[in-house]
Amino acid sequence: MNRNRGVVWLGSPAFPDAAREALKDTGLRANLKRATGTIRDKRLAVASELDDWEALRASAAAVKKRTARHLDRYLVQLEQSVTAAGGTVHWASDAAEANRIVTGLVRATGETEVVKVKSMATQEIGLNEHLAEAGITAYETDLAELIVQLGDDRPSHILVPAIHRNRTEIRDLFVARMGDWGRPAPEGLADDPAELAEAARRHLREKFLTAKVAVSGANFAVADTGTVLVVESEGNGRMCLTLPETLITVMGIEKVVPTWTDLEVFLQLLPRSSTGERMNPYTSAWTGTTEGDGPRAFHLVLLDNGRTDTLADTVGRQALACIRCSACLNVCPVFERTGGHAYGSVYPGPIGAVLTPQLVGVGGDTKSSAASLPFASTLCGACYDACLVKIDIPGVLAHLRAEVVEAERSARRLPTAEAVAMKAAATVLDSPRLLAAAQKAASLGGRALARKGRIGRLPGPLHGWSDTRDTPAPPARSFRSWWRENKEEDQR
C-alpha cells in the first residue's frame, strides 16, 4: 500500500534514475565530499574524548527500545504534563490532519505570517506549501533552511540542508532573492562566511521582532514534565521560541523520552555526533506557558503519519529510534556521491532509505521512489557503526528489500525472471546428481568459449555481468571430482 503521506516529493524519480543524474554533477560531488569529510573528522575527534562513548550509545539504544515498547503510555503522560503546564495538545493521524490543525491555529490568531525554526516534521507534511495555499507565509529562520527557501530548493541533508551549495552560490542567491522575502542583501556582498551570516542576521531580525506566531519542531519531549526541547547552533530557535505570542510545535510521536535522566544521555551524544561540538550552543527547553515569559499560548501537535504502522514491524521499527544526528549520511559512500535530492524524500541517506518506505509504504512497484530506496545502499555497514542508537540499518534494508520483492511478486501474480532463476538454482543445489551435471555442463561450455576467445564476455543476458568484469575460464575438473578421486585413493 502506498499511503503517500507527504514524505516523498511528488514526481520524484526512482533512486537509480535520480542518482544517475546526480553523479554527472561534479560540483555537487566536490561540495559533498568536502562537507561530509569535515564533519566526520570533527565527530571522531570529540567522540574519542569520552571514555564512556560506547556505554552512552548502549544506554541511548536501551532508552529508545524501552520507550517504543510503552510508547502509548508515555504519549498519554506527555499530553497530561503539557496540559497541566498550560499548553494544548493536538493529535494528528496524518499529514492532512496536521496541516489542518496548524492552519486553523494560525488563522485563529488573525496573522498571515509565521516564523519557523528548523523542523523536519513540517517538511514531512508539506506545511509551508499548505500554509501558502491558505494565504499564510512561513519564513524559515535557520540559515541553511533560509538558503533552501530562497532558492526554491529542497533540503539535501538532515542536519545541513544546504550542503549541496558552496558559499559563492549562496552569495549569488542572497543577492538575487533576499529582497523578494524582506530586507535585501547589502551592496557588494562578498562570499565570506561572516558576511553571509551577517546578511542573513539582518534579513531575519525584522521578522523575529514583528512575528506574532512561530512554528517549531522538537528534538525531544520529556513525558514526566511536559518539557519540549530544540537544539540548534545559531540562536534563531531561541528567537522563535521566546518572542512570538503563539508557539506551535509539530513533533513526531517517536521523539518522546520518559524522564530528564534519559534526556541527559542524548544531550551528550547528539552534538558530538551531529556537528562535532561538545555541546549545542543553544539548547532551548520550555514547559507549557509562563505568565510574563515567552509565548502566551503553546500548542503541541503530535504527528503519527505512518509511525504507528512502522512500530508494528518488529524489524523495521528500529528506524523510529533515530534522533536525526545525520552521522549515517556523513559516512555513507552512496550519499557522498549522489547527495540527498536523489532520495526523493525529506529523509535522505541510509536512515531515509529505511524510514521513508515504512512511512509511505513500499507498494508493489520497485521503480517508484519509495520502493527503490531500500536498494540505495551497498550494505557496507558504515551506517550501523556510526549510528548513535545502534539501528541495524543494513539489516532493516535487507528486510525491506524482501518486502518490496514480495509486494512486486504479488502485484504481478507471475514470477519474475530472477525468481524463476533462484527456484531453478535451489532445485539444482538440492540434488547432488543435478549439481554434478550442471558443473560438468558449465565446464564444457566454459572451455568451448575459451577456445573461441570469448571467455571475457558471457553470451546473451549474462553479458551484463561480464561487461565490467573479467570472467575466468572454469577449471578442467570440479572440486567434487577431485575430492571423489582423492577420497577413494585414501581409502585404498
442 band by pLDDT with thresholds 50, 70 and 90: confident
* 465: pLDDT strictly greater than 70: no
Predicted local distance difference test score (pLDDT) of residue 416: 67
pLDDT in tens, 64-112: 999 999 999 999 999 999 999 999 999 999 999 999 999 999 999 999 9
Q: For residue 137, give every residue at least 6 positions away whose Cβ sits within 8 Å of its Cβ, in sequence order, or none.
A: 112, 113, 114, 131
Lowest mean pLDDT of 98-107, 249-258, 460-469, name the range. Answer: 460-469
Task: Label the pairing between strands 282-287 and 227-232.
Answer: antiparallel
Closest CA to 121 of 346, 356, 353: 346
Please name the residues in contact with 89: beta carbons below 8 A apart, sequence gap of 6 or more.
78, 79, 82, 83, 299, 300, 302
Confidence check: pLDDT of 282 > 50:
yes
32-36, 375-379, 435-439, 486-490 — which is least confidently predicted?
486-490
pLDDT band at 406 (very low <50, low <70, confident <90, very high): confident
The sign of the dihedral angle between the CA atoms of 6, 10, 16, 19 is: negative
pLDDT band with cut points at 50, 70 and 90 for residue 4: very low
**For residue 43, which of 53, 28, 30, 33 has the smallest C-alpha distance?**
53
* Residues 95 and 346: beta-carbon distance below 8 Å: no
User: Which among 26, 117, 14, 5 has a CA at the least distance from the CA of 360?
Assistant: 5
Question: What percent of the chain has a predicted confidence (pLDDT) above 90?
Answer: 69
Distances (CA, A) of 17 to 20, 368, 460: 5, 10, 25
Q: What is the mean pLDDT of residues 295-307?
A: 97
Coarse DSSP helix, strand, coil percentages of the chain, rounded to the nearest 5 percent: 55, 10, 35
pLDDT given at position 1: 40
Whether the per-residue pLDDT at 199 is higher than 50: the answer is: yes
Strand partners of residue 283? 231
Report pLDDT digits (tens) over 183-193: 999 999 999 99
Cβ-based neighbours of 224, under 8 Å, separated by 6 or more: 77, 81, 258, 259, 260
Per this entry, what is the length of the chain?
A: 492
DSSP 293-354: BS-SEEEEEEE-TTHHHHHT-TTGGGGGG-----HHHHH-HHHHHH-SGGG-BSS-HHHHHH
**The predicted structure's pLDDT at residue 361:** 83
Checking if the pLDDT of 6 tops 80, the result is no
Mean pLDDT of 144-171: 91
Smallest CA-to-CA distance from 254 within 68, 119, 395 is with 68
In terms of Cα–Cα distance, which of 338, 342, 357, 347 is closest to 408?
A: 357
- The secondary structure of 115-156 as a DSSP string is EE---HHHHHHTHHHHHHHTT-EEEE-SHHHHHHHHTT----
* Closest residue by Cα to residue 442 from 462, 422, 423: 462
Is 401:379 a contact under the CB 8 Å cutoff? no
Q: What is the pTM of this model?
A: 0.84
- Rg, C-alpha atoms of the chain: 27
